[in-house]
């Protein structure tokens, strides 16, 4: 296990979606011993003053006194009231137990979406966070893409990997509320399409492996089939997603810049070393799907749901394409249909790579 801090930023806007994001962050706290969490709030600077750390060591981003919580409790039936009360109590219990690893921060910004996003991005970058968690309704709004929704801006501009949480599956909530603090298997699904973005996703997944002792990984790849979705389990080594046989990797290895070639070799060697050490915790699965974006995303999400994964990791170029929203890009389909939290990885920042290569296990 990696002994250095694994710094996670949870953005909370006091909405119901923040409840699920906070619940997921609390669940991660149970699985990552060296995780340090900062709960970030953004307030309108017109009515505020310079940001400062909260004195409280018990952050409560889902305080039962919040208006939306009171409204929620007043709208649901009695069974749901009991369950939501259990969720609130369990989450605050976890935050309290790990109080020394959790702090709050309030920053100030103009009230526009773009200014809020800029403030969050600046804070996450300057403080070298390794993961940003936020709740989301999804990415279905055309208006949101044209005028700039917070989720679109964060994914497209963040150099820190963004983990998006919508409504959590009922099975996850039941386990979360009833499980005592014992080590459970943390099941992660990594989708690899052999692209450069998949390489970044694999590197970040390897880094998670060093920080989550109970993590088990399944690497999923998709192959074209006229017969629809089916699957086969395989050993992962021969089809490893950062194999030098990938066309983009061949191109990288053939570049004239010797320093760049050496750097990629070093990253590849480090990543393979981490995975080989944990080969008993790594599976590989191939899904056979007809070749269109919707079918591929549906097959992956169906596999993720049926096998109770806690996290789905995917490399992405971003979400800036208007055609992608109108006609259906893979990332849009994945985020809008997923019930499993989705972690999107773009090009990793250089300071992350430097830290990744220098850390020893």
Q: Average pLDDT by consecutive 10-residue portion of the chain (361 residues)?
A: 82 81 90 92 68 41 51 58 75 79 86 90 94 79 53 88 86 76 82 84 92 92 68 54 56 63 83 84 88 86 92 79 51 83 88 85 63
Query: Do 20 and 150 fall within a single domain?
Result: yes
Residue 252: per-residue pLDDT? 55
DSSP state of 149: -
Token couple for 275:
């995975």
Residue 323: per-residue pLDDT? 46
For residue 285, is it within any domain? yes
**What's the CATH code of the domain at 83?**
3.40.50.620
Query: Pairing between strand 311-315 and 342-345?
Result: parallel
Distance CA 197, CA 221 (A): 14
Query: Do 113 and 220 fall within a single domain?
Result: no
Domain that holds residue 81: 6-176
Query: Do 92 and 193 fall within a single domain?
Result: no
Distance CA 99, CA 166 (A): 25
For residue 337, is it within any domain? yes
Is the four-CA dihedral 222, 228, 229, 235 of positive or negative sign? negative
Query: Do 65 and 133 fall within a single domain?
Result: yes
pTM (2 decimals)? 0.80
Cβ atoms of 297 and 334 within 8 Å: the answer is: yes
**H-helix segments, 42-134:** 67-75, 78-97, 113-126
Residue 325: per-residue pLDDT? 44
Three-state DSSP at 231 gives: strand
For residue 1, is it within any domain? no
Query: Do 92 and 73 fall within a single domain?
Result: yes
pLDDT tens readout for residues 21-63: 988 999 898 889 999 999 898 888 765 544 444 333 333 545 5
Which residues have CB under 8 Å from 152's CB, separation 6+? 139, 144, 145, 319, 320
Residue 144: per-residue pLDDT? 46
Q: Domain boundary at 142, 176, 210, which?
A: 176
For residue 45, is it within any domain? yes
Q: At what angle do helices 113-126 and 150-157 cross, to 10 degrees?
A: 40
Distance CA 246, CA 196 (A): 9
Query: Do 155 and 260 fall within a single domain?
Result: no
Residue 314: per-residue pLDDT? 92
Is the four-CA dihedral 248, 251, 255, 261 of positive or negative sign? positive
Distance CA 254, CA 175 (A): 49
Query: Do 164 and 28 fall within a single domain?
Result: yes
**How many domains does one find in the chain?**
2
For residue 212, is it within any domain? yes
Residue 57: per-residue pLDDT? 33
Query: Do 15 and 102 fall within a single domain?
Result: yes
User: Over the Cα atoms of the chain, what is R_g?
Assistant: 20
Query: Do 207 and 158 fall within a single domain?
Result: no
| Cα 53-56-58 angle, rounded to 5 deg | 120
φ/ψ of 58, rounded to 5, equals -125, 75
Q: Which residue has the tokens 């019930």?
A: 339
Residue 143: per-residue pLDDT? 47
Q: Domain boundary at 176, 198, 216, which?
A: 176
The DSSP element (H or E) to which 250 belongs, if any, is: helix 247-253
Residue 354: per-residue pLDDT? 87
Q: Domain boundary at 114, 142, 176, which?
A: 176
Query: Do 150 and 193 fall within a single domain?
Result: no
Query: Do 102 and 148 fall within a single domain?
Result: yes
For residue 135, is it within any domain? yes
Query: Do 169 and 197 fall within a single domain?
Result: no
For residue 181, is it within any domain? no
Distance CA 236, CA 220 (A): 10
Residue 142: per-residue pLDDT? 46
Residue 349: per-residue pLDDT? 84
């Amino acid at each position: 296990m990696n002994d250095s801090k694994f710094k996670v930023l949870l953005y909370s806007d006091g909405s119901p979606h923040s409840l699920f994001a906070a619940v997921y962050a609390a669940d991660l706290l149970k699985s990552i011993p060296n995780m340090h969490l900062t709960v970030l709030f953004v307030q309108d600077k017109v009515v505020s003053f310079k940001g400062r750390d909260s004195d409280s060591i018990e952050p409560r981003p889902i305080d039962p006194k919040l208006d939306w919580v009171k409204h929620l409790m007043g709208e649901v039936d009695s069974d749901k009231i009991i369950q939501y009360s259990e969720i609130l109590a369990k989450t605050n219990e976890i935050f309290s137990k790990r109080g020394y690893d959790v702090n709050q921060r309030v920053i100030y910004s103009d009230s526009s979406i773009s200014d809020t996003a800029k403030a969050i991005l600046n804070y996450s970058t300057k403080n070298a966070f390794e993961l940003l968690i936020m709740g989301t309704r999804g990415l279905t709004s055309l208006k949101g893409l044209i005028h700039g929704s917070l989720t679109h801006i964060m994914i497209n501009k963040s150099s820190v990997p963004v983990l998006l949480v919508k409504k959590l599956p009922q099975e996850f909530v039941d386990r979360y509320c009833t499980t005592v603090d014992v080590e459970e298997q943390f099941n992660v699904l990594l989708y690899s399409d052999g692209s450069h973005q998949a390489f970044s996703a694999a590197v970040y997944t390897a880094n998670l492996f060093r920080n989550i002792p109970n993590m088990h990984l399944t690497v999923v790849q998709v192959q074209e089939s006229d017969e629809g979705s089916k699957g086969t389990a395989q050993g992962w080594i021969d089809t490893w997603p950062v194999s030098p046989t990938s066309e983009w990797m061949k191109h990288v290895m053939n570049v004239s810049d010797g320093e760049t070639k050496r750097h990629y070799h070093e990253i590849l060697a480090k990543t393979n070393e981490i995975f080989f050490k944990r080969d008993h915790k790594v599976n590989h699965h191939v899904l056979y799907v007809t070749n269109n974006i919707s079918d591929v995303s549906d097959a992956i999400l169906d596999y993720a749901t049926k096998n109770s994964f806690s996290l789905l990791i995917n490399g992405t170029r971003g979400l800036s394409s208007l055609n992608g929203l109108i006609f259906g890009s893979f990332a849009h389909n994945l985020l809008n249909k997923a019930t499993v939290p989705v972690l999107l990885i773009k090009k990793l920042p250089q300071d992350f790579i430097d830290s990744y290569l220098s850390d020893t296990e």
